[in-house]
């Protein structure tokens, strides 16, 4: 068949009656995807088409017949529903008194949030897992709170793969193209009606990048796309597929995301102050920011780098170095050589930004190291993950104590409005009032769960479990039909599971560290647990393995084969092609959410958070968010957070601990019923879980924390610097250069303390340090006494830090003095150190310049 050499393109829009024209406006703003009333409105158009379209209102409007539109125009109930949703939509968008308005009265984007994937709604398949879902929930809460954020991502032609299982239970992958003109995205056009594009240098080629807009409540998500006729075939493929495994393609994607994203913002007249990198995929944005500041403000590379760094934020989600993108030198030179040469720095200077050792010629270019070095703020996504991240990157600050390493944390959350079921939301409205959706961080509102009658809460939860079972039956029947199974097998699938049995959910990416097979370590014991005729248990599995992860695929196959045993087919099912729809049914309907990661490999995890407002309970290893959330009255912990050197032994111990929990606590509690048939103690635990967790583990709290801790201070600082022409930044760069030049000569010659041997709690000890500043001025440094309890290895375990004050100078030696308090009895120790001035540099320890007193 001959290829078509010339195609005239045009886009056909639906013919919607004027009276219903507002439907298209509603469809193109994803505000509908966290508004149950709006979802019900679109479902009302055609329920079958709603499901067939993957919950896509654009497809629905394009496919609805004129006859159906005419029918809707005569349906008074529909028109009233439409008017109600439209009024709510307009009220939301016109509201000016938002949470953020207390700090800034602006709608212009001040924060640019870059992410390689975005999970906003099921029909927009540009996500693979938790990173994208978190980004989507972040943008929704930012809109709710009025935080002026613009999201930046890539519009993948294929997105992440669709999963199906062959007859042997082995995962297969298939690609399904995104039809951009049948999605809630619209191209951004210039004044002549042409696609708005920017150019990005990739090697010796110039790649054109166009932009699509997604409206997310009050905010925008901008999605970049290289699949346009002006580009060559290889260039068009850059935005073809999410997480292409090929390193050459990956670096091209990250150049387009980081550099192209910053250029597109500038081309659209959007000037954010803060740039937030959600993982290291977008870290090249820091370099493009430097280039733009050099050109526009006349700054040197070092000055522009310091100015940009102060308003860059890097959030890492990865607990292992292997999860970080790292590119070999030849790829960096091939794709960025020309670009770097235009900035007045050498390739060696650039490579040092992404390496640990400045002179390691064979060391890869690490995107996380680049992001860390170019950011004022680095944070993990849970308290435990902060410490894991500090261990991962502590070699970047070799002399800084572990507890002071410049990596903070903001624990992840979920957007409750997006993940709570319609049934449970209605229950909350009746007994908590409508404020739970607007102020989910208010603890007092969640006290209202105690007012919900036990019977009503339980019946609501049972309804969701029944809907989950019905959904799984449909999925399983479809899976078997696609595999060519017999009619008898398909009919049997339509009757699997018991709508009243204890239902456990396990759904996530099938990486080996998540240990999906932990439950299968003792198959006979598990079988006895599941098939107890008086207290039956059923487990619903779902999840994808990475296409090249054969170990993950083997885990899926193992579960499938175990479930095929005749006496287990009604107790274990695997739902293929895990996505937001499957996730929604699961988190809304399970009784228990099972999470078994190998500690400390789960950075945060948010799937378990999603079951909480739906009445589900969690059983998990003490990892990620559960490390902060767990108390015995709200759920169960597998082990006590132990970490073993022998993985097989750890799996054995924790599998047995899980079986014990099921047999002795979880199952008996679920089936312990009163005369009215209600599991009162179980319901009480459901309420305590909601009351204790909902107010904290949500993205409203998370976004507020980012705003208060990071965004607002960075915005204030930038505005202050701008007023005085960035002179302070220029001075700071010169000062840092002086520090680095002279730091090798700084010495603490002597530390003395007036210790009498009669120290008592409440007394104070004078400490004197004699410091050779090596040519630096006292204003250049902060001298500190570092003291506290000694551990068995003579190290200061719980340090306190007090600044020492300059007292005099004798023969070039500066004398510093401090009084330290004796707060507790026991074996104590002290030392002194010199660091760059905390007054001159807010994040002094980031420089890695620190001089301790010698022994």
Tokens matching residue 321: 């170095």
Helix H or strand E encompassing 813: strand 813-821
Q: How confident is the model at residue 213 (pLDDT cuts 50, 70, 90)?
A: very high
Distance CA 282, CA 292 (A): 16
Q: What is the average per-residue pLDDT within 793-804? A: 91
Mean pLDDT over the full length of the chain: 94
Q: Give the pLDDT confidence of 384-437 residue by residue, as tens digits.
A: 999 999 999 999 999 999 999 999 999 999 999 999 999 999 999 999 999 999
Q: What percent of the chain has pLDDT over 90?
A: 87
pLDDT at 439 > cutoff 60 = yes
Q: Has residue 4 got a pLDDT over 70?
A: no
Q: How confident is the model at residue 9 (pLDDT cuts 50, 70, 90)?
A: low
CA angle 561, 477, 169 (to 5 degrees): 25
Angle formed by the axes of helices 247-255 and 329-341, to 10°? 30
Extract the tokens encoding 87. Answer: 């009024």
**ω into 600 cis (within 30 of 0):** yes
pLDDT in tens, 591-634: 999 999 999 999 999 999 999 999 999 999 999 999 999 999 99
Inter-residue contact 407 to 389 (CB < 8 Å): yes
pLDDT (average), residues 714-732? 92
Q: What is the CA radius of gyration of the chain?
A: 29
> Which strand (E) or helix (H) includes residue 431?
helix 422-431
Give backbone dihedrals phi and psi of 206, rounded to 5 degrees, phi first.
-105, 125
| Spatial CA neighbour of 623 closest among 645, 644, 638, 607 | 638
Predicted confidence (pLDDT) per residue in 440-450, tens digit = 999 999 999 99
Measured over the CA atoms of residue 334, residue 338, residue 339 and residue 340, the dihedral's sign is positive
Lowest mean pLDDT among 707-721, 737-751, 786-800: 786-800
3-state helix, strand, coil in the chain (%, to 5): 45, 20, 35
- If you write DSSP's letter for every residue of 89-139 in order, what string do you get? HHHHHH----SGGGT----S--EEEEES-B-S-TTS-B--SHHHHHHHHHH
Residues 6+ apart with CB under 8 A from 742: 774, 775, 776
Query: Cα angle vertex 244, ends 243, 246, to 5°?
Result: 130
Exposed/middle/buried for 540, CB within 10 Å: 0-12, 13-18, 19+? buried
Q: Look at residue 283 in the predicted model and tell me its pLDDT.
A: 98
Q: How far apart are CA 441 and CA 766, in angstroms?
A: 46
Q: Say if CB 525 and CB 659 are below 8 A apart.
A: yes
Task: Give the rounded percent of residues in the chain with a pLDDT score beyond 70.
Answer: 98
Quick: pLDDT tens for 584-593.
Answer: 999 999 999 9
Tokens 């650039």: give the residue.
350
Given a cut of 90, whether residue 247 has pLDDT beyond it is yes
Question: Could you give the CA distance from residue 772 to residue 33 in angstroms, rounded to a whole number?
Answer: 63
Nearest alpha-carbon partner for 242 in 139, 332, 371, 115 = 115
567 with 527: CB under 8 angstroms? yes
What stretches of 483-606 show up as alpha helix (H) in DSSP?
487-493, 523-530, 550-563, 580-589
Distance CA 801, CA 603 (A): 30
Q: What is the mean pLDDT of residues 362-371?
A: 94
Alpha-carbon distance of 385 to 706, in angstroms, equals 16
Provide DSSP, 328-364: -HHHHHHHHHHHHHTTT--HHHHHHTT-SSTT-TT--
CA–CA distance, 469 with 480 (Å, rounded to integer)? 16
Query: Can you tell me the distance from the alpha carbon of 50 to that of 43, in angstroms, rounded to the nearest whole number?
Result: 6
| pLDDT number for residue 1 | 43
What does the pLDDT average to over 270-279? 97
pLDDT confidence of residue 78: 97
Q: What span, in angstroms and rounded, lies between the C-alpha atoms of 158 and 173?
A: 12
Of the pLDDT bands very low, low, confident and very high (cuts 50, 70, 90), residue 7 is low
- For 429: left if phi > 0, alpha if psi spans -120 to 50, otherwise beta; the answer is alpha
The mean per-residue pLDDT over the stretch 563-567 comes to: 90
Three-class SS state of 85: helix
> Which residues in 471-511 belong to E strands, given as ranges?
502-507
Strands (E), 622-677: 635-638
- Residues forming beta bridges with residue 219, ordered by sequence position: 216
What is the maximum span of the chain, computed from C-alpha positions, in angstroms?
97
Q: What is the mean pLDDT of residues 642-660?
A: 95
Tokens, residue 141: 């809460």
- Residue 278: strand pairing partners: 115, 315
pLDDT value for 360: 67
Q: Taking a C-beta distance cutoff of 8 angstroms, is the pair 489, 480 a contact?
A: yes
Sole residue written with tokens 């509908």: 32
- Residue 314, strand partner residues: 277, 378
Nearest-5° Cα angle at 128, 127 to 129 = 105
Closest CA to 785 of 831, 817, 844, 744: 831
CA pair distance 79, 95, nearest whole angstrom: 24
Residue 3 pLDDT greater than 70, yes or no = no
Torsion angle, alpha carbons of 149, 154, 158, 163, to 10: -60
| Locus of tokens 């190998």 | 598
- Where does the pLDDT of residue 125 fall: very low under 50, low under 70, confident under 90, or very high at 90 and above? very high
The helices-and-strands tally (H runs, E runs) of the chain is 33, 28
- C-alpha angle with apex 57: 470 to 163, nearest 5 degrees? 50
Distance between CA atoms of residues 338 and 360, nearest Å = 22
Mean pLDDT of 803-816: 94
- pLDDT value, residue 811: 87
Instruction: Report cis status (omega within 30 of 0) of the bond before 713.
Output: no
pLDDT tens digits, one per residue of 309-331: 999 999 999 988 888 999 999 99
DSSP one-letter string for 258-277: IIIHHHHHHHTT---SEEEE
Sign for the CA dihedral angle at 417, 382, 593, 428 comes to negative
Top-confidence residue, 710 or 724: 710
């Amino acid at each position: 068949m001959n290829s078509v050499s010339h195609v005239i393109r045009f886009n056909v829009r639906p013919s919607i009656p004027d009276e219903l024209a507002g439907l298209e406006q509603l469809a193109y703003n994803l505000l509908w995807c966290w508004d149950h009333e709006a979802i019900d409105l679109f479902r009302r158009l055609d329920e079958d088409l709603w499901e067939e379209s993957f919950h896509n209102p654009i497809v629905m409007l394009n496919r609805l017949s004129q006859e159906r539109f005419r029918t809707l125009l005569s349906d008074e109930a529909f028109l009233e529903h439409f008017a109600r949703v439209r009024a709510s939509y307009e009220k939301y968008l016109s509201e000016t008194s938002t949470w953020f308005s207390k700090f800034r009265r602006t709608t212009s984007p001040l924060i640019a949030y870059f992410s390689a994937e975005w999970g906003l709604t099921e029909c927009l398949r540009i996500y693979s897992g938790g990173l994208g879902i978190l980004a989507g929930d972040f943008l929704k809460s930012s809109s709710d709170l009025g935080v002026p954020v613009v999201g930046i991502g890539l519009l993948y032609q294929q997105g992440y793969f669709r999963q199906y299982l062959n007859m042997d239970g082995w995962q297969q992958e298939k690609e399904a193209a995104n039809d951009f003109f049948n999605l809630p995205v619209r191209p951004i056009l210039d004044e002549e009606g042409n696609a708005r594009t920017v150019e990005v240098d990739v090697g010796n080629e110039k790649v054109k990048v166009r932009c699509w807009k997604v409206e997310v409540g009050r905010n925008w998500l901008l999605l970049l796309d290289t699949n346009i006729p002006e580009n060559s075939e290889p260039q068009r493929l850059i935005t073809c597929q999410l997480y292409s495994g090929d390193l050459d393609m990956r670096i091209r994607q990250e150049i387009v995301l980081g550099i192209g994203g910053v250029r597109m913002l500038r081309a659209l007249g959007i000037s954010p102050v803060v740039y937030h990198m959600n993982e290291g995929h977008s870290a090249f944005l820091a370099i493009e920011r430097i280039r733009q500041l050099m050109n526009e403000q006349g700054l040197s590379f070092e000055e522009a780098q310091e100015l940009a760094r102060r308003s860059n934020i890097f959030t890492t989600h990865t607990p292992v170095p292997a999860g970080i993108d790292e590119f070999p030198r030849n790829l960096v030179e091939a794709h960025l050589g020309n670009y770097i040469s235009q900035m007045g720095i050498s390739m060696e200077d650039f490579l040092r930004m992404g390496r640990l050792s400045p002179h390691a010629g064979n060391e890869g270019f690490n995107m996380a190291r680049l992001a860390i070095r170019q950011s004022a703020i680095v944070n993990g996504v849970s308290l435990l993950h902060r410490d894991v991240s500090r261990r991962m990157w502590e070699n970047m600050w070799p002399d800084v104590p572990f507890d002071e390493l410049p990596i903070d944390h903001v624990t992840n959350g979920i957007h409750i409005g997006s993940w709570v079921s319609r049934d449970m939301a209605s229950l909350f409205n009746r007994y908590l009032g409508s404020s739970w959706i607007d102020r989910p961080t208010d603890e007092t509102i969640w006290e209202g769960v105690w007012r919900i009658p036990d019977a009503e809460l339980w019946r609501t939860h049972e309804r969701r479990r029944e809907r989950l079972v019905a959904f799984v039956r449909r999925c399983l029947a479809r899976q078997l039909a696609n595999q060519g199974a017999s009619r008898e097998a398909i009919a049997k699938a339509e009757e699997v599971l018991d709508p009243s049995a204890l239902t456990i959910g396990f759904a996530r990416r099938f990486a080996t560290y998540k240990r999906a097979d932990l439950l299968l370590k003792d198959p006979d014991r598990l079988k006895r647990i599941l098939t107890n005729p008086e207290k039956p248990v059923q487990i619903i599995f779902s999840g994808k393995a990475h296409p090249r992860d054969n170990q993950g695929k083997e885990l899926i196959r193992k579960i499938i084969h175990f479930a095929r045993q005749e006496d287990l087919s009604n107790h274990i099912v695997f739902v293929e092609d895990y996505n937001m729809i499957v996730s929604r049914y699961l988190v809304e309907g399970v009784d228990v959410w099972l999470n078994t990661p190998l500690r400390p490999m789960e950075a945060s995890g948010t799937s378990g958070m999603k079951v909480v407002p739906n009445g589900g309970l969690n059983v998990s290893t003490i990892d990620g968010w559960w490390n902060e959330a767990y108390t015995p009255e709200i759920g169960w912990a597998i082990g006590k957070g132990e970490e073993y050197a022998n993985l097989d032994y750890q799996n054995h111990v924790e599998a047995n601990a899980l079986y014990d929990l099921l047999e002795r606590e979880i199952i008996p509690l679920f089936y312990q019923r009163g005369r009215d048939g209600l599991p009162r103690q179980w319901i009480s635990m459901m309420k305590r879980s909601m009351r204790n967790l909902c107010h904290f583990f949500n993205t409203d709290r998370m976004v507020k924390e980012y705003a208060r801790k990071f965004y607002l201070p960075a915005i204030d600082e930038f505005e202050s610097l701008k007023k005085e022409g960035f002179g302070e930044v220029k001075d700071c760069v010169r000062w840092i250069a002086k520090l680095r030049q002279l730091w090798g000569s700084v010495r603490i010659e002597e530390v003395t303390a007036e210790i009498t041997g009669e120290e008592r709690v409440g007394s104070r000890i004078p400490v004197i340090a004699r410091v050779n500043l090596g040519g630096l001025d006292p204003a250049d440094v902060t001298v500190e006494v570092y003291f506290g309890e000694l551990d068995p290895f003579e190290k200061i375990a719980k340090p306190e830090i007090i600044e020492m004050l300059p007292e005099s100078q004798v023969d070039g030696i500066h004398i510093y003095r401090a009084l330290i308090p004796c707060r507790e009895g026991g074996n104590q120790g002290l030392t002194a150190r010199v660091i760059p001035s905390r007054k001159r540099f807010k994040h002094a320890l980031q420089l890695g310049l620190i001089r301790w007193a010698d022994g």
